[in-house]
Amino acid sequence: MRFLLDVDGERRAIEVEPIAGGFVIRIDGALYRVHARPAAEFVDVRIGAKRYRLRVEGNEAIFGDEVHRLRIADVSEDRGDVVEGRPAGKGAVVDVRSPMPGRVVRVAVAAGTSVRRGETLVILEAMKMQNEIPAPGDGVVRQVAVAEGETITADRVVASIELRGPSAS
């Protein structure tokens, strides 16, 4: 299961995978093994040696006498085979988004270019570092949505790619 969770104004993309007695929770590459036992009023949660007893009421999570405000969105039951939020089947067109704001210093592909998984599409400079945005899979570039020199925001679509299914490659 995947969803966006905003706690006290800070948003995170959450992936949940059930395991025996709990879940593996992934947050942007970090991994937490969480044991959770729901009771009538509380949920008892254990992460490593840490134990939490919390209650979710309305849009609030309550730990003892602390309250966090929650927002939840984009809940999906998808697991695993997704690229940037969409199923990546044969012929699927996926949007590749910028992981951070920055300045486009190089566009390495054009519409029609065949790309392999991991190949650089765009180089984005942020905080004096050049960051390569790679193709999420093998396929053909349908559209490039940014230009060299342009300053872009996080989550902005930089290109869309029509993926070749595993059978075609």
Question: Which residues in this chain contact another protein in the complex, by CB under 8 A?
Answer: 1, 3-12, 14, 16, 22-23, 25, 27-32, 34, 36-38, 43, 45, 47, 50, 52, 54, 56, 59, 61-63, 65-73, 75, 99-103, 126-129, 131, 151, 154
Count of residues making up the chain? 169
Least distance CB 165 / another protein (angstroms) = 28
Q: 16 or 93: whose CB is closer to another protein?
A: 16
The distance of closest approach from Cβ of residue 142 to another protein in the complex, given in angstroms and rounded to an integer, is: 26
Shortest Å, Cβ 82 to another protein:
17
CB of 145 to another protein, least distance (A): 18
Q: Alpha carbon 24 to chain centroid distance? A: 15
Our CB check for another protein shows the closer of 82 and 92 to be: 82
Task: Tell me, letter by letter, the H, E, C secondary structure of 92-157.
Answer: CEEEEECCCCEEEEEECCCCCCEECCCCEEEEEEECCEEEEEECCCCEEEEEECCCCCCEECCCCE
CA-nearest of 17, 12, 155 to 72 is: 12
Toward another protein, which CB reaches closer, 27 or 110? 27
Coil, strand or helix: which one is 6? strand
